[in-house]
Structure 1
Amino acid sequence: MEQQEQSKISPGRSLRIAVVLLVAASGALESVSFLGLDRVFAGVVTSNLALLGMAGGRGEAAGVTAAVLALAGFGVGALAVARCTRGCLTAATHWPRRVMVVLGVEAALLAVGALVWGLTGGTPGEATRDAMQFGAALAMGTQSAAMVAAGRAAAPTTYLTGTLATYIVKGIGTGRPGVWVPLRLVGLIVGAAVSAALLKEARAWAALPPVALVLCAIAIARVPLVARRHDSTGPT
């Protein structure tokens, strides 16, 4: 009975906004990863597999290394989160505390990367660039797995191909399009555009937007948890 009631509940506005912010953060980080590092993506596994095949087919060792680092970082991040959130109880109304902790760890990883990026003026050496490529993918693997662990209270934030297909078929196709999927798509574009512009005009600051966006998402996603805590401690 409780599960049936949960299935009728949709995530609140604060969680939907937090998802949009995380999507924007992934877009911003993809700009830094692809344009500022080694021309691979931090969180788009399908594209990186294709880039790995293309680099291998053309005999480009640097391209192979970059793609392998990105794929490995994403996989390690997702696996670590899977272990940390094993048995985590999910609900449609809030993100579990372990998911919130994971997002905090992601923000810390991104902050370290932004600091290194800034100290090098946005032009890290080869070894540092490889480490940052792995770290960026690690952060995206962490974020992606955290959203899976959050269940119905979340949505994909690092890949939107399936999201767009579902929206077209089940949203536009049925006459119930909604606004949150388009907002996620716009968030991805805006996040990518902001970091891309910074790479051009103020390169040392280009890695900062992903950090700020993830922190804002965490703050907004805490609203349902704070409300639940207030309800549980309030007068009966």
Structure 2
Amino acid sequence: MSSSLSSTGRVAWALLLLSAASGAADAFVFLCAGQVFAGVMTGNLVLLGAAATGAGDEGSAPRVCAALVSYVAGAGCGALMARRWGWPVAGLLLAEAVLLGAAATAWGVGLVTSGADRTGLLAVVAVAMGIQGMVRVTPTNYFTGTLTSLAGRLALGRPVRDDIEVVGRLAAVVAGAAMAAAAARWWPPGAASVAVLAALGALVLETAGRRGQPLG
């Protein structure tokens, strides 16, 4: 029983960390790479539509397209790695952490100096978020459906046991975004590090418990 509880707790904490990584990554690229998102593709589609009509920032269209294409590429690669090539969950998390680490390093040491550099940075983070989206059926980088389902259950008086964890993941997104935004304001070179640390934390949990229940 204790082993089962340990496994369940490990999965729950890993999902919290991945949710925080998502919030941190989106806050970082929104604030530092041109006010578009790395993981929230619904928001990017809205921005693209606004830019196409001239109602929004017309200059954002190339960045939005880069994010969309990169996220799709990341999700596709994640699907191939997990479901065709048989990569373990730890492999996907490692790939995500490496990409986020590369982006954080480039940003932290001052290699991102132009608009094209920022678009490239955005693309790398979006690929990482696409891979994360394939780690587990439980979403950790898009939450509109999660919030909608939670609201419906609560309104009908039909909460489930896992709703506490759902609320925790929603809070983790906010916390991750807040920490990345605080870093962007007070320590700009480290603004991308929050997402990296959260993803690495999830990787450590998966690696430490690889003989238990997998994350995906």
Q: Distance in 2 between matches of 1:188 and 1:28?
A: 7
1:32 is aligned, of 28, 32, 36, to: 28
Deviating above 3 A after TM superposition, structure 1's stretches of 4 or more consecutive aligned residues are 175-178
Tell me, which stretches of 5 or more residues in structure 2 are unaligned? 1-6
Aligned to 1:166: 149
Match for 2:101: what amino acid? Answer: A
The superposition leaves residues 171-211 of structure 1 with CA deviations (integer Å, 9 ceiling, x where unpaired) of 56314363101111110011000010111111011111111
Match for 2:160: what amino acid? Answer: R
- Calculate the TM-score normalised by the size of structure 2: 0.87
Aligned to 1:209: 194
2:123 is aligned, of 134, 140, 146, to: 134
Moved more, 69-78 or 138-147: 138-147
Aligned CA RMSD, in angstroms, stands at: 2.2
1:146 is aligned, of 114, 121, 135, to: 135
Aligned to 1:120: 110
Aligned to 1:6: none
Aligned to 1:75: 72
Report the structure number with the largest CA radius of gyration: 1
Tell me, which stretches of 5 or more residues in structure 1 are unaligned? 1-10, 89-95, 149-154, 229-236
Instruction: Work out whether 1:62 is the aligned partner of 2:59.
Output: yes
Distance 1:76 1:97, change over 3 A: closer
Match for 1:14: what amino acid? Answer: R
Distance 1:176 1:84, change over 3 A: closer
- Calculate the TM-score normalised by the size of structure 1: 0.80
Distance 1:170 1:224, change over 3 A: farther
Aligned-partner SS, 2:36: coil
Of all paired residues, the percent bearing the same amino acid is 32
Aligned residues: 205
Instruction: Work out whether 1:106 is the aligned partner of 2:96.
Output: yes
